[in-house]
Structure 1
């Protein structure tokens, strides 16, 4: 054969002329000799090399590695392909993780919380807690995971176990009623005692690990989580303070702010 022009060679191989020239600049494909009219003519060996480079590039092999790969002996070639396969697998896993994040974005809570915590929020709604309370618990879970991650699993487990107790559910709903009470209402003291007794009967509360003591800001972190939204509800703030005091008196380690 007399050879093909660069345009014909590119079309036959399935790439652009610009791509062929890029391969030449990188030294991946040798530039063929020019004919008498001054045009470079591509022959079957040139097209074979172009096909090999295009195939490896399409498989995700970095262009900077293709030259050495094609010029290697069979054993190093196979080892190099295994390495490329490993890296591509890692990239696929990373892309899959990004895709999962995007999927979670479409489902609100799931981008910030694991499935177990999301199931817990669904359970709260199913037990009849109002949307405002569920939203507050969602925010508390997000804050706990971000500020005290080492306590997140035990926090979720404690709440899961508490929700199995109808008395706890009922007392918590009474606590929601307290949002409309005056902060000096005598019912708050009574409710705090009932809540503290119920929590102390919960093995997940009694055996929960202590908050990390290696931070100088442990109390502040805890306070951000446990007293979230209290500024809006003085009666609830007093209720929580009384419950905490009773738990401390019973030996539960709760940081003081």
Structure 2
């Protein structure tokens, strides 16, 4: 028979914790001996190990108390459920740890890997850092707000940029950022974009330029806000596509 202090030291908890377990009805409180000390035996140590293990697994004390009256089969089933919950928590924590490590490495973009590769390609193709940053921010918005459709839209743009002639249009669009809104080169660029768009999509819905959907509107409104020249370019493109 051992004292509460010896039991606490052996199991690795505080005496205060043991007293809380007594108050919560988790661990029966033994009577006192002739010297006035409460004495604990092997069964108390085993019970305390069970309680501590379940508590450390995140099981609420109320459920631990209820498990004291469970049958052997019920207890084993409860342990399997607790183990499944713990495994799920571990997976979530590992994902969080991965995000934390990417944050520490400066990798802040919550985008699919293929989008990250695409953004790196943009820089290699001669797009300005401003354009690459804008594309990153736009894809973050699109994947966050329309995850069910973002992948298809991204694939469409990636395929376009894989074609040198279409990529030239995007590069010219990028470099038009600093032009005056009334620069005649904007009219010529708008005409070329409309021709390429009609050639790619025909007379059907134009997912990139003319479709009345939320995603193109989200993208284009953000692009237009960045440059008066881009805003006029969009106005010309829409007018010619509608015509």
Hey, what does 2:46 align to over in structure 1? 48
Asked whether the 8 Å contact 2:27–2:44 carries over to 1, the reply is: yes
Hey, what does 1:120 align to over in structure 2? 118
User: How far apart, CA to CA, are the structure 2 residues paired with 1:154 and 1:248?
Assistant: 24
Matches of residues 92-241 of structure 1 in structure 2 within 5 Å?
92-106=90-104, 107-111=106-110, 113-202=111-200, 211-212=212-213, 218=214, 222-241=216-235
1:18 to 8, 16, 19: 16
2:236 to 236, 242, 254: 242
Deviations 1:196-252 (A, max 9, x none): 22233335996666555xxxxx5xx75452032534532222222222223334xxx
Asked whether the 8 Å contact 1:32–1:41 carries over to 2, the reply is: yes
User: How far apart, CA to CA, are the structure 2 residues paired with 1:177 and 1:114?
Assistant: 27
| Alignment CA distance shift 1:19-1:180 (3 Å) | closer
How many correspondences in the alignment? 239
Higher mean alpha-carbon deviation, 172-181 vs 101-110, is at 101-110
TM-score, structure 2 length as denominator? Answer: 0.83
| Alignment CA distance shift 1:13-1:182 (3 Å) | closer
User: How far apart, CA to CA, are the structure 2 residues paired with 1:102 and 1:206?
Assistant: 44
Asked whether the 8 Å contact 2:197–2:206 carries over to 1, the reply is: no
Question: Structure 1: which 5+ runs fail to align?
Answer: 213-217, 250-257
| Alignment CA distance shift 1:143-1:54 (3 Å) | closer
| Alignment CA distance shift 1:47-1:182 (3 Å) | closer
TM-score, structure 1 length as denominator? Answer: 0.79
RMSD of equivalent CA atoms? 2.8
Deviations 1:153-180 (A, max 9, x none): 2321221011111011112222333234
- Secondary structure, in 3 states, of the residue corresponding to 2:177? helix
Matches of residues 58-77 of structure 1 in structure 2 within 5 Å?
58-77=56-75
| Alignment CA distance shift 1:149-1:58 (3 Å) | closer
| Match status 1:6 vs 2:8 | no
Question: Structure 2: which 5+ runs fail to align?
Answer: none
User: How far apart, CA to CA, are the structure 2 residues paired with 1:47 and 1:231?
Assistant: 68
User: How far apart, CA to CA, are the structure 1 residues paired with 2:41 and 2:219?
Assistant: 72
Asked whether the 8 Å contact 1:140–1:226 carries over to 2, the reply is: no
Higher mean alpha-carbon deviation, 61-70 vs 29-38, is at 61-70
| Alignment CA distance shift 1:204-1:98 (3 Å) | farther
